[in-house]
Structure 1
Amino acid sequence: MKKLVLAIVTGAAVVAAALIPSGPPSEAASPGFASAVSSVRQTSWQTNNSVNALAIAGDTVYAGGLFTRIRQPGKPAGQGESVRTYIAAFNRKTGAPTSFAPKLNGPVYSIATSPDGKWVVIGGDFTTVNGLSRHKLAMFNVATGKIVIGWDPKFSARVKALAIYGNSVYVGGAFGRVDGTTRNRLAAVSVSQGVLQAWNPNADDDVYAVDVSDNGQRVFVGGPFEKINGKDHYSLAMVNTTTGAAYSMPAAAAIPEPSPTCTTRVKDIDTLGNKVFVSNGGDGYGCYDGVLAADATTGKLLWQNNCLGATEAIKAIGNWVYKGSHAHDCSDSGAFGDDTGTHYLLVENAANGNLGPWFPNTDANPNSTTQVGPLAMAGTSTDLWVGGDFLHVNGKVQQGLTRFTNAPGGAAPAAPKAPKVTSTALNKATVKFTDTYDLDNLTLTYNVFRGSTNIGSYKYTSYYWEPRKTYTVTDTGVKSGQTVSYHIEVNDGRSIVKGPAVSVKVR
C-alpha cells in the first residue's frame, strides 16, 4: 500500500501539514466563485471622466459625474464616443447605453431611485436640465426618461447625497436653504410634489452620505460635520425619519474626532436588513479609513475593519460588503501589509468585516480631481456596478465605469508552476510544489499527479498578495529504476488548471 507524506515549507521554516494561512477559509461556490459576484470584469461602456454616483431601477443603471462623453467598450479616449452631459443610463444586463440623455449644465454628485422603480432623482451642481431651471435637484420618470415638469425644489448649493423612502426624498450636501427656507445641509422633500418637509436635522458642516434603514425607521447621515441640531454627533448620526432628531448611535464612537494630525469623515452609507454599513476616509496621519457595521435599530457597533486607505464607496450584497477604496495596509485586520500595492476593490464578510474572496483591481487617474479610484457603487443580488476616476480595470482599458456579475465561471486559478522532483532514497520520489492563488476564491484544491494517477489531494487557503508557500509530498508508490513524471492541477470548484510536468528516475 502506497504511503504519502506531506509537509509545508515557508522560507526556511518547516510547518505542520495541517497549518493553513490565517483568515476566513472560503469554499468555492458552485458558479466557480465564493462571493456574490465574480472578479471577472463584464462588458460595459466607459466614460471620459469620473463617475461620482450610481443607482439602479429595474434593468436600468444610472450613472452621474463629471463626464461629458460615453464610449464603447475597449475603445481609447476620443474614439467611439457619444454625448452624455454628466448623466447617462445603461442596460444592467448588457452594459450598453440607453437613449436617456438629458442635457445638464453642471456635474452630478448623487443619484437615488425610488423603491418602486418609478422615479430617479439626481443631485449635484447643475442649474438647468434640458433648458429648464433646476437648482441642484431634478426628478425623472424611469419609464419615459422625461423630466418631471412640476417637481422643482430649489437648493442653494451642491446636493451630494440622496435617499428615497416612502414619500420622502432625503437630501444631504452643502446647501443652507431650500425654497428660501433655512435647511442646513440636510432636508427632505416629497416624492409626489417636491414640497419641502419638516425634517430638519440641521448639520453644522457638509453631508456626504445619506441612507434609510430597510424598515424606514431610521435615517443615517455622514460627513465632516460635528453637530446635529446643536448636539455633538461627529461624522455619523442616526436620526428620526420625521423630525430629524438624532438618536444615540454608539457605533459613531469608532470614528475618531478631529485631531491636529487627522480629520476623518464618513464617505458612504449602505443599509441591508437590520445592519448599516459605513465607510470612512481621512486626511493626515493615523486616520480611520475603514468600514464599520452597526445595528440599524440600536446603533451599536457590530464590527470594524481598520484597513488604511480611504474607503470611498460601499455596497452590501447578501453576506458581503463590497468596498471601493485605495487600501494599502490592512495588517491591523489580519491581511496585507503596506508593501503590496494599492487594492482599490475588496470585499468584506458582512458578519465580521474580514476580507473575503474577491480581488479585482482598478487604478486611479492621476489627472483627475479626486485621484482615488472607485467613487461609487450600486448593485443587486446578481451584479455590482462600480464608478470612479479609474482608467483601467484588471489591467485593461476601462475608464470611469465597470460591472461585475454572478455569471457562472469566475476567474480561474493562476497556473501552478512545475514541481521540483527528486529521488534520493530507494523506492521514493519527493515532489515539492508551490501554492497559487485565485481572484475569486481563498481555498483551492491541489491535486498531485504521477502520470495520470492522482496520488494526493490537498486543500489550502491562500491570498494572492502573500508570499507563495511550498509543500512537499513523498511518494512511496514507486520502484527503483522507474522514470515517472509529476504535475500539479489546481481546482477552484469549477475551473481546473494544469501545470507542466517534470520527470525523475527513481533511485
Structure 2
Amino acid sequence: MRGGLLRPVVALVLALGLVAAADGPAPADQDVVVSPTPAPKHPRILDGRVYDIANAGPKVLVAGTFATIRNGEFESPEVQQPRLFRFDSDTGLIDESFRPRINGDVEAVTYTADRSAILIAGDFTRVNGKKALRIAKLRLNGALHTGFKAGASRRVKDFALVGGRLILGGEFNKINGRDVGRMAAVRPGTGALDRSFHLGVTGSRDQFAPYVQELDVSADGRWLVIGGNFQRVGSAERHQVAVINLTGDRPRVAPWSTGRYRGDCAKSYNDTYIRGIDVSPDNKFFVVNTTGAHLGPDRMCDSSARWELPPAGAGTNRQPTWVNHSGGDTYWAVEITESAVYVGGHMRWSNNPHPSPGGDNDGSGSVSRPGIAALDPYSGVPLSWNPGRDRGRGVEAFNATDDYLMVGSDTNFFAGQIRQRLAMLPVAGGTPNPAPQNVPLPVNFFYTTSGTDLNRMAFDGSSFGPISTVSGGVNWSGTRDGFVQDGRLHYFGADQAFYWRSFTTSTVGASVRNLSTSVGYVDEDANLTPYDQPYGVDTTRTAAFDGGRVLYTKTGDPKLYYRGYSLESGILGGFESIASSRDWSGARSLELIGNWLYAAWSDNKLYRFAAPDGLPRWDTRAVVDNGATSDIPWSSTTGLWATAGSG
C-alpha cells in the first residue's frame, strides 16, 4: 500500500529494538507521479467491486465482490473466479492454477511475511467447501491452510500484518469465540488469539454497534491508525479516528486526538463517515478520506486531510496540516507515495471548499478530477495529473509497487480506455513533483517598485551588498509580490491573476504563463471570481512561500492568511486560513528566508519575524533595516523575493 521509505533510518530503529517492522511488502520506490496512461496488459474484471490489492513482486492478488474475470485480450474466455484471483503484473495474465472458492466478500488480502502463504478476511464462511469464518489462510496454490484456525463472529473490514500479529478491525464482537471489542489480533501462523492485544472500540455514534471501518500501520511498525464508528478506544476518548502505539509488549492509545471528526455530516452517515486511511512511507503522517455530503468548508465531510503522527503530531485537539474538499462527493481509497497522495472516489471536483450555490456543484478554485486525483503531499492541492475515470461508486483499492500504481474500482473506463475495474499505471514515464525548498542565508534579495526595473543585492541577515539592476527590459508594473521555487518566479501580477516564469539569480525568463487562466479552475454555475480562481487571489497584495503554503495579505484586509500551493501544477488552494490576526496592513512585500519572515513595511523599514513553522510570531518583530542606511525604498516595494547564495 505504501510508497518509498527512508530505509536506512528504519534499519537503525529496528537494530536498536525500538519497534517491530510491518510484515507486509516493503514500501514502493515511487519518486515520481505515475503515468496517467494505464498499461495495456492486465486482467479485466467484469462485475462487482474491488476491495483490496496486494502483491509479492509480480504476483498480484485482487480481492472484492466480483465473480467473473478474463485476460486482457478481447478474445479471451471468461473465467468464473469469485472474490479473489491472482495475476502476474509482468505478463498481465491471470494465474488460472489459483482457484480458491470463497462464498462471501473478501475485504482484505495480504501475503504472509515470508511470502509463503496468503491471508484473507471479509464476510465469507467457507473456503473450498470448508468452514472458514471470515478469516482464512491459503497456501499459494489456493488450498485452505488447515493449520490456521481463526474465526470472527461478524464481518472483518480490514487488517494489517505487523510484528508477528495480524491486527483485525471490523463489525465482530468475538474472535475464536472470545469477546473482543471490534479490534483484535491473531497469530498469523496459527490463528490463535493474541491476548496481549486488547483495546476495546466502544461508544457508537448512532443506534448501531460500534465498528472499525479502516486501519493502516506505518512501515516502521510503530503506529496503527484506525477509523470507524466509535467514541472511545480503550479508556481514551477518540472520535472516529485514533492512533495506537504498537511499541512494547502491549498496544496503547497514543497521545494524539482531534475533535474535527466529532461533528456529524449528513444523517445517512451518523455511524461513521471515515472511508480511507493510509500512513506515509516516511512514517511521519497519515491521510484520512471521508464521505458525508458538503456541509461547509469547516466540516470534514467529503474531504481528504493530512494529520501528523507523533512525536511531531502529539497532543489533544490536533488540527490537520491540510484539508482538500470535493464539494459534496465521496473520497474513498487513499495511497501515499513519495511524490503524491492518490485519492479515489466518485468525486467530480477537487480543491472545492466553496461549491456554489451549494454542495454537489463546482465552486471558485475547484478543478475537475473525475473519480481520481493526485494531491500534493505538502499542501493537499491537486497536482496536474488528471487521467479521469467513470465515477461509479468509486475507487476502493490502491496498491503501489516499484513499477505501478494499481487502482481497483467498480467501473469500466480509465483515462478514456476500457479498463474494467482494474488499472495499472506505470512508474516509467512518470513526472517529478518538486519538493518545497527552504531558502537559507545568505541570499540574493530582489525587489521591484512600480517601475520597470528589478533590483538585486546580496543579504547576509544583517547587511546588504551593492544594488544592481537585473532586467530593465521586463515590465514589472502590476506586480503584487511573489517567491522563487523550483527555478521559477511565482507571482501575483496584473489583471487580478497569478503567474509563473523561469527565474535564476541572473536570468529572468521572457515566457510567462498565466496560471489563473490555464490550470483548469471551474465554476460554471456562479462565476464568482475572476477566471474562476480561488477567492482572494485577485486582491492578494503580498506573498511569501514555505513548505507548501503561501503566506499573503489582501487589499483592504489587515490579517495575514495562508493557503496551500502546488509547485508542480500551479494550482492555489481554495481554502484560506488565518496565519495572524494582528494588523498586517502596513506590509508592502514579504519573503521567508530560513526560519524568518522578512516584511517591507509602509514606514520604509524592513522587519523580521521569527517563523519556525512558517507562521510568524508577531511579538518577535525586529527592525533589520531602516531604509536610510541601505537606500532601499521599502515602503514602495511591490515585490520581494530571494534566491540562495550571494552572487
Q: In the TM superposition, what is the alpha-carbon distance from 1:120 to its structure 2 partner?
A: 2.5
The two structures have a TM-score, normalised by structure 1, of 0.69
Corresponding residue for 2:627? none
1:188 deviates by 0.4
The equivalent residue for 1:106 is: 104
CA distance in 2, matches of 1:75, 1:460: 44
Asked whether 1:355 is paired with 2:387, we answer: no
Q: CA deviation at 1:302?
A: 5.6
Residue by residue over 1:403-435, the C-alpha shift from the partner in whole angstroms, topping out at 9 and shown as x without a partner, is 10122378xxxxxxxxxxxxxxxxxxxxxxxxx
Matches of residues 120-139 of structure 1 in structure 2 within 5 Å?
120-139=118-137
How many angstroms does 1:231 deviate by? 3.6
The equivalent residue for 2:534 is none
State the SS of the aligned residue for 1:351: coil
Aligned residue number for residue 224 of structure 1: 229
Deviates more, 1:227-236 or 1:124-133: 227-236
Q: Within 1, Cα distance between the matches of 2:81 and 2:62?
A: 10
Give the 3 Å change call, closer, same or farther, for CA 97–408 of structure 1 in structure 2: same
Instruction: After superposition, give the CA deviation of every residue in 1:98-134 in whole Å (9 maximum; x if it has no partner).
Output: 2322111111111233454344311111111112211
SS at match of 1:192: coil
Residue 453 of structure 1 is matched in structure 2 by none
- Matches for 1:229-240 after TM superposition, within 5 Å: 229-240=234-245
CA offset at residue 377 of structure 1? 0.7
Q: Which residue of 1 aligns with 2:85?
A: 88
- Structure 2 length-normalised TM: 0.55
AA aligned opposite 2:69? I
Once the two structures are TM-superposed, the CA of residue 259 in structure 1 deviates from its matched residue by 5.9
Residues 1:56 and 2:76 are matched in the alignment: no
- Equivalent residue for 1:185? 182
CA distance in 1, matches of 2:320, 2:377: 10
Q: Percent identity?
A: 24
* 1:281 aligns with one of 276, 283, 290: 290
Letter in 2 for 1:59: P
Q: 1:491-506 to 2 correspondence within 5 Å?
A: none
Structure 1 pair 331–291 and aligned structure 2 pair: CA distance change class (3 A): closer
Deviates more, 1:240-249 or 1:315-324: 240-249
Match in the other structure for 1:42 = 39
CA distances 1:13-37 after superposition (whole Å, capped 9, x unpaired): xxxxxxxxxxxxxxxxxxxx99431
The correspondence of residues 481-500 of structure 1 with structure 2, limited to 5 A, is none
Cα distance change, pair 182–80 in 1 and its aligned pair in 2 (3 A): same
For 2:519 and 2:32, locate their aligned partners in 1 and report how far apart those are by CA, in whole Å: 15
Superposition deviation, residue 57 in structure 1: 1.7
Structure 2 counterpart of 1:303, one-letter code: T
The question of 1:253 aligning with 2:259 is answered yes
Equivalent residue number for residue 395 of structure 2? 374
Which residue of 2 is the match for residue 502 of structure 1?
A: none
The answer to whether the 8 Å contact 2:324/2:380 transfers is no
Amino acid at match of 2:323: N
Shift of the 464–88 alpha-carbon distance from structure 1 to 2, 3 Å rule, reads farther
* Residue 260 to residue 166, structure 1, CA distance change in 2 (3 Å): closer
- Kindly state the Cα deviation for residue 332 of structure 1 after the two structures are TM-superposed: 4.7
**Which residue does the alignment assign to 2:418?**
397
Amino acid in the other structure paired with 2:405: L
Amino acid across the alignment from 2:260 = A
Q: Which residue of 1 aligns with 2:71?
A: 72
Moved more, 352-361 or 458-467: 458-467
Question: Distance between the aligned counterparts of 2:522 and 2:396, measured in 1?
Answer: 27
TM-superposed deviation, 1:222: 0.9
Offset, 1:329: 4.2
Contact 2:350 2:368 in 1 (8 A): no
Contact 1:201 1:239 in 2 (8 A): no
Q: In 1, Cα distance between the equivalents of 2:198 and 2:511?
A: 62
Partner of 2:72: helix, strand, or coil? coil
Helix, strand or coil for the counterpart of 1:223?
Answer: strand
330 and 158 in structure 1: CA distance in 2 versus 1, 3 angstrom threshold: same
Partner of 1:265: 273
**Quick one: distance in 2 between partners of 1:279 and 1:295?**
11
Report what 2:324 is aligned to.
Answer: 306
Q: In 1, are the aligned partners of 2:372 and 2:388 still within 8 Å (CA)? A: yes
Structure 1 residue 296 corresponds to structure 2 residue 314: no
Distance in 1 of aligned mates of 2:116 and 2:175 = 24
Change (3 A) 1:141 1:273: farther
Superposed, 1:335-354 pairs within 5 Å as: 337-338=362-363, 343-354=370-381
Q: Is the 8 A contact 1:279 1:312 kept in 2?
A: no
More strand by share: 1
Q: Distance in 1 between matches of 2:325 and 2:521?
A: 15
Tell me if 1:323 matches 2:343: yes
Secondary structure at the residue paired with 2:259? helix
- Is the CA contact (8 Å cut-off) linking 1:109 and 1:124 kept in structure 2? yes
The Cα shift of 1:208 comes to: 1.4
- Contact between 2:71 and 2:92, CA under 8 Å: does it hold in 1? no
Q: Distance in 1 between matches of 2:304 and 2:293?
A: 18
C-alpha distance 35-326 of structure 1, shift in aligned 2 (>3 A): farther
The 5 Å alignment of 1:425-440 reads none
Equivalences for residues 188-199 of structure 1 within 5 A = 188-198=185-195, 199=197
- Which sections of structure 2, spanning at least 5 residues, go unmatched? 1-29, 203-209, 356-360, 432-487, 491-498, 502-509, 524-529, 532-567, 569-647
Contact 1:266 1:278 in 2 (8 A): no
How far is 1:220 from its partner? 1.1
Task: Name the CA distance, whole Å, in 1 between partners of 2:198 and 2:117.
Answer: 23
Q: Helix, strand or coil for the counterpart of 2:396?
A: strand
Deviations 1:185-230 (A, max 9, x none): 1110012211101212211311111111222222111112222125
Residues 1:283 and 1:458: Cα distance change in structure 2 (over 3 Å): closer
CA contact 1:307–1:327 (8 Å) conserved in 2: no
Alignment of 1:150-169 (within 5 A): 150-169=147-166
Q: What is the rounded CA distance, in whole Å, between the counterparts of 1:316 and 1:58 in structure 2?
A: 19
Q: C-alpha deviations, 1:141-175, integer Å up to 9, x for none?
A: 44x55432211201111111011012100111111
Deviates more, 1:378-387 or 1:161-170: 378-387
Question: Structure 1 residues 258 and 239, CA, compared in 2 at 3 Å: closer, same or farther?
Answer: same
By relative contact order (CA 8 Å, sep 6+), the higher-ranking structure is 1
Distance in 2 of aligned mates of 1:165 and 1:87: 23
Q: Which runs of no fewer than 5 residues in structure 1 stay unpaired?
A: 1-32, 366-371, 411-441, 447-455, 470-491, 493-507
Determine if contact 1:279/1:311 at 8 Å carries over to the other structure.
no
195, 198, 201: which one aligns with 1:200: 198
Letter aligned with residue 246 of structure 1: V
